[in-house]
Amino acid sequence: MSSSCAGGRASTTGDPVTAEDVKFSLERYRGGGAASLKARVAGVDVVDPQRVRIRLKQPWPDFMTFYGTPATGARGSCRRSTSTRS
């Protein structure tokens, strides 16, 4: 699954949100769903400065529900652009 960072979004420092920021947030997430995320995500790749690719270990039908919550740190900073199978 690939996501593109929405333009005009700023981090807490006021800098634009980049794909590196999203990758960092997803990899460091330690909230209530961290075990599920770590168990099901094979990796997060920066495709370009505004796009990340999230590789799942296997199909996860509820991934977009999980990904779209404030808990992951990704909500509002990126939008789903394409869904691809690896």
Furthest CA-CA distance within the chain = 36
Please tell me whether residue 68 adopts helix, strand or coil conformation.
Answer: coil
Rounded to whole angstroms, the Cα distance separating 63 from 69 reads: 10
More confident call, 2 vs 28: 28
- How does pLDDT run across 30-71, given as a tens digit for each residue? 878 888 889 999 999 999 988 999 999 999 998 888 877 765
**Can you give the pLDDT at residue 6?**
62
Domains and CATH numbers, the chain: 2-78 (3.90.76.10)
Joined together, the tokens standing for residue 53 give 């690719």
Rounded to whole angstroms, the Cα distance separating 71 from 84 reads: 24
Element holding 22 (H helix, E strand): helix 19-28
Specify the pTM: 0.70
